[in-house]
Amino acid sequence: MYNSKHVHSVIRKEIREIVRDGRLRLLGVIVVILALAALAFGVKQTLRAQEAREHARERAEGQWKGQGEKNPHVAAHYGTHVFAPTSVATAIDPGVSAYLGRSIKIEAHKRNLAAHSAAQDGAGLQRLGSFSVSTVLLQLVPLLIVALGYGLWSRERESGTLRQLLSTGVDRASLLWGKGLALLAVVAALLVPAGLIILGVLWFLGGGDSSTLARLGLLALGYAVYFAMFGGITLYASAAAHSSRAALVAMIGIWGLFCLVAPRAATEFSGAVKALPSQAQLARDVAHSLENGIDGKTPREIAVNAIVSDMMAARGFSDAGMMINSAFVSGIELQAEAQWEDLVFDHHIQALDDQMAAQEEAVSWVGFLSPFIAMRTLSSGLCGTDFAHHRHFTEYVESWRKNWVNRLNAAFAENAGDKGWNYKAGPELWKTTPPFNYAEPGTAFALRAHWISLSALLFWLFLALLLARRSANRVKVV
């Protein structure tokens, strides 16, 4: 048990000593300035992405509605584009969204992958790499915690004050709580004002809705756990090392292992667990399945004819001797072809998405070896910039594309009549296209997608507190 009066005394003493060191004050200010600079860069990138998306969306919509008279199926071949929304939280953590593409071309007979990523289009992004608020929080703040806390136990032992404190009746638990809370209080004094500035900026950008605020609140809580974990390990190293220099060297090594070595190793590990096919290989596989079926034994013509027969029967035209308008039959055949192609595309794209999800899951499990990885994946998930959110968007796009193609083919089948392929629809059809209203999933979606990383982060917090407590009980006074 600890004594609250002793804890308060230790907190005041440690804060005075930390604040008295001008080098640490300067280091803290530098970290905050870097965080705000990263925010400014992130806001600039986010505003640019939002402006580009809105301009491209309006242009695509205008081209579609103003294309003039055209056969509906021919119009489906020309297609249109849809665009992923850019969340304001991207300004904090761009995650992998910059590399996965933000627009998808919608057309008949083909399911396209997302294209036009920010990494391809942004020279500034390439120059600055992954410079973001999350980079500062994930890598630089832990270094600040190490610099502030590596000597909390060892310096007192080296100066002889630890023996004096213990001889006055101050128990080790009170010292541990006092030092730990003082360390976190100093870090909070630096980061909380910066966090409020970040929140205000995101609010100004439109992030005041309940879903975004819930995500940001959980993100702040996650980073608090991450920082507390690093504080606990730093206190452990300070108590266990034989000198302050040894504690500092050990913590820098641990930081490098967690934040530099482990991420690269995790990437290699995930690639070994589930290798992804090349774009050329994926295209060959899709082309083969379109002609021969997913099982490789069902020719396209036979499969499409079977679907046509089912569709005709469903509409009451099962009698082969019935007189049926040729344009209507052509429209049914187009719908049957689309259904066959959808089966093939869904199979291969889902397999690709499953492989990418398996890679992400493999990286998440590595979070039990590195808290940096656990917090990084959780951060991108809460900011909506991970692969799970990208997949949610692309699946919505495909559902919308299928409905879009079916509506156009149905318009041809029902209205062409004797004109057949010479039939042309006008703006009245294009304007009835349902709007593309994609909504980002809620906070629960992000937590479900990253339960492994969340568990790993809590595991590291428990381990860090356990190590800090054990080292405090066993710390040597000389």
- Alpha helix positions (H), 129-205: 133-135, 141-149, 154-159, 161-167, 172-204
Give the tens place of pLDDT for each residue, 193-236.
999 999 999 998 887 788 899 999 999 999 999 999 999 999 99
- 367 within a domain of the structure (yes/no): yes
Asked if residue 368 belongs to a domain, the reply is yes
Tell me if 282 is assigned to some domain.
Answer: no
pLDDT of residue 322: 53
Measure the CA–CA gap between 108 and 71, rounded to whole angstroms: 13
Q: Give, in order, the Cα–Cα distances in Å from 125 to each of 44, 135, 160, 310.
A: 11, 14, 51, 52
Its domain, for residue 52, covers 4-274+342-407+442-474
Q: What is the pLDDT of residue 443?
A: 93
Residue 291 lies in a domain: no
pTM (2 decimals)?
A: 0.89
Residue 435 lies in a domain: no
Mean pLDDT rounded to a whole number for the chain: 88
Q: For residue 438, is pLDDT > 80? A: yes
Read off the tokens for 285.
């596989």
Q: pLDDT, tens digit, for every residue of 117-142?
A: 654 444 433 433 468 999 999 999 99
Q: At what angle do helices 371-382 and 326-366 cross, to 10 degrees?
A: 150
Residue 381 falls within a domain, yes or no?
A: yes
How confident is the model over 81-127, as pLDDT tens digits? 999 988 889 999 998 887 888 899 999 888 888 886 654 444 433 43
pLDDT at 415 over 90: no
Give the residue among 108, 157, 96 at the shortest CA–CA distance from 391. Answer: 96
Percent of the chain having pLDDT more than 90?
51
- Greater confidence, 350 or 23? 350
d(CA 238, CA 243): 8
On whether residue 436 sits in a domain, the answer given is: no
Distances (CA, A) of 446 to 134, 162, 330, 378: 17, 46, 44, 8
- Our count of domains for the chain comes to 1
Task: Give the tokens for residue 199.
Answer: 């929140």
Between residues 132 and 327, the one the model is more confident about: 132
397 found inside a domain = yes
Q: What is the pLDDT of residue 449?
A: 95
d(CA 303, CA 293): 8
pLDDT digits (tens, 9 = 90+) for 257-287: 999 999 999 988 888 887 888 888 988 999 9
Q: Report the alpha-carbon distance of residue 169 to residue 5 in Å, rounded.
A: 12
